[in-house]
Structure 1
Amino acid sequence: MSHRGRWLAGACISTLAVGLLVTGAALGPPPREGSGSSARPEVAVGAYLHYGSPGVDRMQELSHWLGGAELRAGHTYLPGDTWSNIEGAPDSLGSWARWRNARADRLFVLNVPMQARNEADVPDGQVAKLIRAGARGENDHHFERLARRLVSLGVPDTVIVLGWEMNGFNYTHRCRPDAENWKKYWRSIVAAMRSVEGQRFLFDFAPNRGIDAIPWTKCYPGDDVVDIVGMDSYDQPPGDSFDEQVTQPYGLQQQVDFARAHGKLISYPEWGLFRNGDNPEYMRDMLGWIADHRPLYHSITDYCPHGVWQCSQNPRSAEVFREFLSNEQGRGGPADFDHRE
């Protein structure tokens, strides 16, 4: 989803407290056979509420609406307009860092653009030139500065959602105009950020669900530079039903299978309602999928039309969230949540 859309996060405030945003899954893929571990560590659950410091305040407000449920994934975006912003200039990073460091078990999730003018409708030919320049290392210094900024703020373990939705048509950091050099560019960025002393970043490769402009596997830059295989998945075509969203080429099942084959955690940095409106069946199924497949974290996009707390237009889906919360508290956890009714 576009950064411009995320600036709408203060609109449509609802009085409906919903039960999604509680601990509902567990870390990573199931333990390998013979590992001797049967534990289900808790997932970090959150919501995108605002790109800046107001998002931190809204985390507290949302937790209050949820009866004190702890939200452990703080999720925001760096603006992709200028290189100085990609380098970590926004003052709000300090607020997010303080939120992260208030509890040891929290995650700070930061979407990082790979190009300036990231929503400027740059044509494919120019994008290809920019990708090749990045592959030559010409932008490495920007990402080194970002890494130093994050380390200095005390968040060296930030989850970096780098170049998200790269398989799409729109962002300047899209992959399709030159996939091979795009992968080299990703590798160059990761090397630059990992070169900074004290860093412990996790890099999250998060395409759109489905093929979109290019199959996302063609953009995958390599196991040594990816820690998490994420996916942004909204209730929209391709995939009119949730089952189709699971089974479609490059859909939810392929993400899980790909991550398992490559020994990676999974995540859902963005998900929510969209083209199909207030759809409680989708919400029930997506919550069940999350409960069954144990992402490291998930973050609902909580503004209209996607959301459930800051948006009043999805009351039936909010009821599903309440049901989820009731099952979580009353029956021992999300595994008991019947998402296929």
Structure 2
Amino acid sequence: MSHRGRRMAGACINTAVAGLLATGGALAPAQREATGSSSGTRVAVGAYLHYGSPGVNRMQGLSHWLGGTELRAGHTYLPGDTWSNIEGEPDSLRSWARWREERADRLFVLNVPMLEDNEGGVPDDQVAELLRSGAQGAYDHHFRRLAERLVSLGIPDTVIVLGWEMNGFDYTHRCRPDPENWKRYWRRIVAAMRSVEGERFRFDFAPNRGIDAIPWTRCYPGDDVVDIVGMDSYDQPPGNNFDEQVTQPYGLQQQVDFAKAHHKQISYPEWGLFRRGDNPEYMRQMLVWIADQKPLYHSITDYCPHGVWQCSRNPRSAEVFREFLSTDPDRRAASRPHP
């Protein structure tokens, strides 16, 4: 989903969230932690709540709404408008660094664009030229600066979701115009960031579910420069129902199988409702899938139309989400389908 959409959604929900906080939505500190599955395997639960510092502030409110379930995955995005922002200029990174440092078991997840003007509708021929330049090292210094900033802020173990949804049509950092140079460019970025002393970054390769503009396997840059195989998956075609979202070419099952074959963890950096509106069955099936697959983390996109806490359009799905992520075993069991 676009950063522009996230900024607009963040502005629209300020008033609603202020009301939640005023009525006690963030008064109780997190006391419990979700397991993510009935087996007790810990999965870091997260949500995208706002692109800036308000996203940090809202974490406690969502945790309280979930009955105290701790959100261990904090998720935000660097703007892709200018190189200075991609270098980590946004002040909100300081807020996220403070949040991350409060507990050793938290994950800070940061989506990083690979090119500036990332939502500028740049045509394919220009994208191909930019990718060639990146593959030749023209932009290495921007990513070294980002790495240096993250290390200096005390978040050297950030999960970097680099060039997300690269198999799509929209972002300037898309893969289709030149897959081979896209892969070379990814490798240069990882090398540049890993060259900074003190870094412990993990790099998350996260395509859209399905083929989209190009099969995402054609964009995979190599096991030595990927730590996590993620997937962004919303309730929308391709796939007329959740089962088809699992079994379709380059769908959820292929992601799991691919990651296993390459000895990688999986993640779901973006997921949520979309084209089919308030769909509690999708919500239940996606949460069961996540619990059964045990990703490193998952992060619901929590604004309208995708979300459940900051969006009043999806009350039935919100109830499923809330019950499933409760740490009360009876409530969690009640939210799972019976055999």
TM-score by length of 2: 0.91
Structure 2 partner of 1:330: 329
**Distance change >3 Å, CA 133–CA 123, structure 1 → 2:** same
For 1:72 and 1:325, the matched residues in 2 are separated by 13
Deviations 1:285-313 (A, max 9, x none): 00000000000000000000000000000
Counterpart Cα distance in 2 of 1:66 and 1:288: 17
Q: Distance in 2 between matches of 1:40 and 1:226?
A: 27
Contact map agreement 1:157 1:199 (CA 8 A) in 2: yes
Equivalent-residue separation in structure 2 for 1:163 and 1:322 (angstroms): 31
Q: Distance in 1 between matches of 2:305 and 2:130?
A: 33
Is 1:23 the counterpart of 2:34? The answer is yes
Structural RMSD (CA)? 2.0
1:256 aligns with 2:264: no
Matched residue SS, 1:118: coil
Do the aligned partners of residues 292 and 41 (structure 1) sit closer, same or farther apart at CA in structure 2, a change above 3 Å counting? closer
Asked if structure 1 preserves the Cα contact closer than 8 Å seen for 2:110 and 2:158, the reply is yes
User: Which ranges of structure 1 fall in alignment gaps of 5 or more residues?
Assistant: 27-38
Whether the aligned pair in 2 keeps the contact of 1:86 and 1:142 (CA below 8 Å) is yes
Name 2:29's counterpart in structure 1: none
- Aligned residue for 1:213? 213
* Partners of 2:151 and 2:198 within 8 A in 1: yes
> Among the aligned pairs, what percent are the same residue?
77
8 Å contact from structure 1 (residues 235, 273) kept in 2: yes
1:64 counterpart SS class: helix
How far apart, in 1, do the equivalents of 2:160 and 2:279 lie? 30
Q: Displacement of 1:325 after TM fit? A: 3.7
Deviations 1:37-91, CA, capped at 9 Å, x for gaps: xx95411111000011010000111112223221100000000000000000001
Partner of 1:51: 51
Maintained 8 Å contact 2:229/2:265:
yes
Partner amino acid, structure 2, of 1:185: Y
- Following superposition of structure 1 onto structure 2, how do residues 170-319 of structure 1 map, counting pairs within 5 Å? 170-319=170-319
Aligned partner of residue 176 in structure 1, secondary structure: coil
Q: Shift in Å at residue 171 of structure 1?
A: 0.2
Tell me what 1:11 maps to: 12
Which SS does the other structure have where 1:267 is aligned? strand
Question: Number of residue pairs matched?
Answer: 324
Higher relative contact order (CA 8 A, sep 6+): 1
The 3 A distance-change label for structure 1 pair 64 and 40 is closer
Unaligned 5+ runs, structure 2: 26-31
* Residue identity opposite 2:54 in structure 1: P
State the TM-score, normalized to the length of structure 1: 0.91
The residue identity in structure 1 corresponding to 2:243 is D
Q: What is the alpha-carbon distance in structure 2 between the residues aligned to residue 66 and residue 316 of structure 1?
A: 15
- CA spacing shift, 1:230–1:188, aligned 2, 3 Å: same
Q: CA–CA distance in 2 between the matches of 1:339 and 1:24?
A: 18
